[in-house]
């Protein structure tokens, strides 16, 4: 059981690192940045759920994080739509 929990935490950590690396290296399009942020947020959510299931977390922090997660997603999509309507392109390199 402990090895399964260790492997689960390891996978969540590598998902988080992969999200940060994709955020650093694929920064030319808004959609890549938004998807990278979503990967980072989902991996942090899984780490928080993992800690909550181990009995070390607080449920209200999980709920607040989910609210922040939704607001961040909506804000990113609204900025993307606004920029595409104004400029007609969604690339950073053309700015």
56-89, pLDDT tens digit by residue?
667 888 888 889 888 988 888 888 888 888 877 7
Q: Please indicate, yes or no, if residue 95 is contained in any of the structural domains.
A: no
Q: Which of 54, 39, 69 is nearest to 8 (CA)?
A: 54
* Domain contains 12: yes
Q: Is 15 inside a domain boundary? A: yes
Structural domains in the chain (count):
1
Is 94 within a domain? no
* Average pLDDT for the chain: 79
10, part of any domain? yes
Give the range of the structural domain holding residue 21, as residue numbers without chain letter: 2-87
Position 32 in a domain? yes
Residue 29 is given by DSSP the state: B
Residue 93 counted as domain residue: no
């Amino acid at each position: 059981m402990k090895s399964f929990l260790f492997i689960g935490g390891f996978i969540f950590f590598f998902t988080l690192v992969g999200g940060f690396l994709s955020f650093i290296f694929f920064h030319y399009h808004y959609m890549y940045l938004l998807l990278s942020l979503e990967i980072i947020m989902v991996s942090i959510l899984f780490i928080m759920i993992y800690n909550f299931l181990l009995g070390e977390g607080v449920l209200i922090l999980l709920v607040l994080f989910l609210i922040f997660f939704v607001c961040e997603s909506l804000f990113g999509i609204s900025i993307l739509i606004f920029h595409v309507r104004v400029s007609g392109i969604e690339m950073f390199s053309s700015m």
